[in-house]
Amino acid sequence: MTTQIFIKIGYACISIAVMVAYGLLTGGVMARIRARVYGRYGAPVWQPFLDIFKNLNKRTAISHGMMFYLGPIFRFAGGLGTYLFIPAVFGSVLFANFSGAGDIFLVMYFIFFGQLGMALGAGEGGHPYSGIAIARGLAQMSAFEVPFALAVISIVVQYDTFSITEIVAAQQGGILHWTMFTNPLATIAAFIALLGMNMQSPFDIVIAPQEIPIGPPTEFPSQFLSMLQTNRGLFLVAKLILFMNLFYGGATSVWILFLKTFIIYLANLFIGVSFPRYRIEQAIKFFLKYPTIIGIIAIILMAMK
């Protein structure tokens, strides 16, 4: 029994390393595509790796409260927990992770845990605008969690299980078995929520990259920033795999996983470069209106079957 546990931990470490590398590379590719859409050349696709190695070699003499430094750790723990309880490749021993030990609501908790920890860390940064950023982030997060939770409840009712592995298994047998076709309204509601989770425009006011030269990239130095950048790759892949498992039939091989998650993120990117940014109150009203109504209808339809 002990040997099996250590073997599973070893497989999980390999799985994490592969997905971190894939997530960072995907982020670099998408940044390059976004730059080309805007008429710029863009940084090389391997730039995320260079940034991490650069920050790992830096030191800082800045001192903040303990919670400030625990923020990146909580953020990384959220991304790590989200990924470890998801079956990355259906039927694979290497990429099964610990999916048999959790369910969809445990994964949703880890998504929230990382973001809440980051908010607590930012609160001790000492910057006068930290409170504004925290309020923006938590308000928008609470808003997009509503339609996503409704979409998840809808597919739980549909498949009568909380297990992500069983939800993926129920979608095997052909493309028409995917939740995308058997429950399209839940898929639409969840996809809109995913735009908010990935901070894609029109829902990127929390980071406001064009206007505010502050936030984690400038507040957190050296190894702490490197940890955040590593989590950016892992957490991105974890969310994409979760969405793929719930709505697109999962993946039966690593190559199918790469293809499906890349297409999902590419669709996010195209929407992001096509629409202007919402103000925070506009984003909250939008999430609590259209996708929420769609999610409620999806639950009602599944309950009536």
Q: What is the pLDDT of residues 78-121, one digit of tens each?
A: 888 888 888 888 888 888 888 776 678 888 888 888 777 777 77
Residue 244 has pLDDT above 90, yes or no: yes
Mean pLDDT of 233-244: 89
Residue 228 has pLDDT above 80, yes or no: no
Most confident of 49-58, 97-106, 198-207, 247-256: 247-256
- In angstroms and rounded to an integer, the radius of gyration of the C-alpha atoms of the chain is 19
Residue 215's pLDDT is 54
Residue 129 has pLDDT above 80, yes or no: no
d(CA 21, CA 29): 12
d(CA 266, CA 187): 16
Percentage of the residues of the chain whose pLDDT score is greater than 90: 23
Mean pLDDT of 245-256: 91
pTM of the model: 0.86
Query: Residue by residue, what is the 3-state secondary structure of 27-77?
Result: HHHHHHHHHHHCCCCCCCCCHHHHHHHHHHCCCCCCCCCHHHHHHHHHHHH
Please tell me the least confidently modeled range out of 67-76, 109-118, 215-224.
Answer: 215-224
d(CA 226, CA 244): 27
Return the percent helix, strand and coil in the chain, to nearest 5.
Answer: 70, 0, 30
Residue 222 has pLDDT above 70, yes or no: no
**Residue that wins the pLDDT comparison between 158 and 132:** 158
Please tell me the least confidently modeled range out of 97-106, 174-183, 187-196.
Answer: 97-106
Mean pLDDT of 256-280: 86
pLDDT tens by residue, 9-49: 888 888 888 888 888 888 888 888 888 877 777 778 888 88
Residue 279 has pLDDT above 90, yes or no: no
User: Mind giving me the DSSP string for 224-256?
Assistant: HHHHHHHHHHHHHHHHHHHHHHHHS---SSHHH
3-state secondary structure of 154: helix
Q: Which amino acid is at 19?
A: M
Please tell me the least confidently modeled range out of 12-16, 96-100, 153-157, 223-227.
Answer: 223-227
Which conformational region is residue 10 in: left (phi greater than 0), alpha (psi within -120 to 50 degrees), or beta?
alpha
The two structure tokens encoding residue 50: 């260079």
Residue 234 has pLDDT above 90, yes or no: no
pLDDT band at 246 (very low <50, low <70, confident <90, very high): very high
Q: Residue 197 contacts by C-beta under 8 Å, 6 or more apart in sequence?
A: 111, 144, 148, 239
3-state secondary structure of 122: helix
